[in-house]
Amino acid sequence: MSLPSRYWREIPQRYRLEAYKCQNCGAVHFPPRLVCSKCQSRKMEKIRLSGRGQIVSFTIIRVPPHQFEDQAPYAVGLAELEEGIKLTAQIVDCPFEELKTGMKVKVEFRKVFQQGESGILCYGYKFVPE
Amino acid sequence: MRDVAVMGVGMTKWGELWEKSLRNIFVETALQALDDAGIDKIDSMHVGSMSSGLFVGQEHIASLLTDYLGVNPIPCSRVETACASGGLALRTGFMEVACGMSDVVLVGGIEKMTDVSGSEATYALGSAADQEYEGYHGITFPGLYALIAKAHMEKYNTTREQLAQVAVKNHSNGSLNPLAQFPFKVTVDKVLNSVMIADPLRILDCSPITDGAAAAILCPVDMVKQKGKPVIKVTGSGHATDSIALAHRDDITWLEATYQAGKKAYGMADKKPQDIDVLEVHDCFTIAEICVLEALGIVEKGKGGEAVEKGLSSLDGKIPVNTSGGLKAKGHPVGATGIAQVIEIVKQLRGEGEKRQVKDARVGMTQNMGGSGGSTLVHIFEKE
Ligand SMILES: [Zn+2]
């Protein structure tokens, strides 16, 4: 089991969708990275993602890792946000038969899973239909 | 650079080897490779293992393996690039012999996966993805390849049946390989009715959990000639990387690292896709084989599904792919897979392919991939 520092250092990204925008080429990076993967510039500014986008691909996980056993089956998708970047998260509040690529989603703050026997709650973002 | 050849190969039966330990599986295989090469002395070793730490709680296996093979104090490195660790061991050994630092190098791969439960194995394999931004959201490896499959089906009209045909072909080949974990045939119907794992991928689209090892002996070409053994040269080696997270690729159906590694290997060997007689690729999931054939230029972008449907990649097709049964039927002890691919190609080029022999095979290629495509090794082999 990891110490809490591993969890809280990701909070700005997971709770507030903080990303970096390259000041040289304009590429947006989520999660933030120190060097731009498009132009190698190190000049970044902090931005917050709009949280609006559409589903590029999705699947339904029927055989989950152990920390998600109580949630299966659940949908996970890739969504492309307005800023042109993609991220991976669960798609919730949507019956499986209504899932489709191109569907508009917004990113909401939710509980993601419960860690270990002590039941520490791990939060983050999920996609919900718009 | 010196020309490098594969002098010997070793592989034992793969499967759920409850009675055998990691060290003994490796040593049996390594001894077979030494015997096949007809030598008893090696200068160094490189062994690929994805996660001996998570699978058996044992790191530092470089010295565990030299110790139990009885070859201390020779140097040994354990190398890791997820499921492509075996391919990396090959490349590392190849570079060492080519540059003249060593003459005889054993390259191997090992994974002992059945000492942990299924969900722990799923977790260990999942560590090849981005733990903070993929794994954290509950996506699994079948899930990542399912995202690729879904996108490929929508973009190129690849069908569910075409995915199943990859499994059917590879199991058909595997039924002719006595070392395979699952040496039996399956039908399209059987694949389409097997248990759903991550839509649209079913269990018969997935490679299994396997215990196994593989080993090969590399040396300068002149040494093989002196011994009067068949000369199987390593003529091309390519290694490339891509984003660890699938989400960070512009087109999730395109395996850029495979394309880049292939380009390097083709260039070094001065070969084109149409020169390849026999090919082993990383079919960890049925969709992977389809995407790999596209990235290696064997077929055009989007035509990977058609390739299997039209029989291009069958045993009697224009370019037989995964004559060993692939990861699908032969099994996928992750770190060992890259070396097992070499063994199949060497057997084919030597004419030792038995019932699955490809006629007049002179040029072979291997493609070994880590994670959802974040790393890839491609090698080309030629019979002299
Ligand atoms: Zn930039």
Contacts of B158 in chain A (CB under 8 A): none
Q: Which helix (H) or strand (E) holds B287?
A: helix B286-295
* Containing structural domain, residue A31: 1-48
Same domain, B103 and B143: no
A78: closest CA of chain B, how far (Å) = 7
Same domain, A128 and A83: yes
Length of chain A: 130
The answer, for A99 touching chain B at a CB cutoff of 8 Å, is: no
The ranges of chain B with pLDDT < 70 are: none
The answer, for B59 touching chain A at a CB cutoff of 8 Å, is: no
Percent of chain B with pLDDT over 70: 100
> Nearest chain B Cα to A125, which residue?
B137
d(CA A94, CA A86): 20
Residue A1: per-residue pLDDT: 60
B83 is catalytic: yes
Higher-pLDDT residue of A43 and A119 is A43
The answer, for A112 touching chain B at a CB cutoff of 8 Å, is: yes
d(CA B141, CA B132): 15
A90 with B137: CB under 8 angstroms?
yes
Same domain, A12 and A67: no
Query: What is the pTM for the complete model shown?
Result: 0.98
* Containing structural domain, residue B12: 4-117+209-227
A54 with A77: CB under 8 angstroms?
no
Same domain, A108 and A129: yes
Mean pLDDT score of chain B: 97
Residue A120: per-residue pLDDT: 82
d(CA A74, CA A91): 8
d(CA B267, CA A12): 45
> Nearest chain B Cα to A58, which residue?
B147
Is a pLDDT exceeding 90 seen at residue A5? no
Contacts of A31 in chain B (CB under 8 A): 132-133
Domain count, chain A: 2
Residue B150: per-residue pLDDT: 98
Q: Specify if B126 maps to a domain.
A: no
Is a pLDDT exceeding 90 seen at residue A3? no
* Res. A4 pLDDT band, cuts 50 70 90: confident
Given B192, B227, B262, which residue is the final one in a domain? B227
Residue B153: per-residue pLDDT: 98
Contacts of A64 in chain B (CB under 8 A): 122, 138, 140
Same domain, A59 and A108: yes
Cβ partners under 8 Å of residue B164, min gap 6: B188, B191, B192, B204, B205, B286
Is a pLDDT exceeding 80 seen at residue A116? no
B292 with B282: CB under 8 angstroms?
yes
Same domain, A89 and A27: no
- Angle CA(B89)–CA(B91)–CA(B93) in degrees, nearest 5? 70
> Nearest chain B Cα to A71, which residue?
B138
Residue A53: per-residue pLDDT: 98
d(CA B278, CA B50): 26
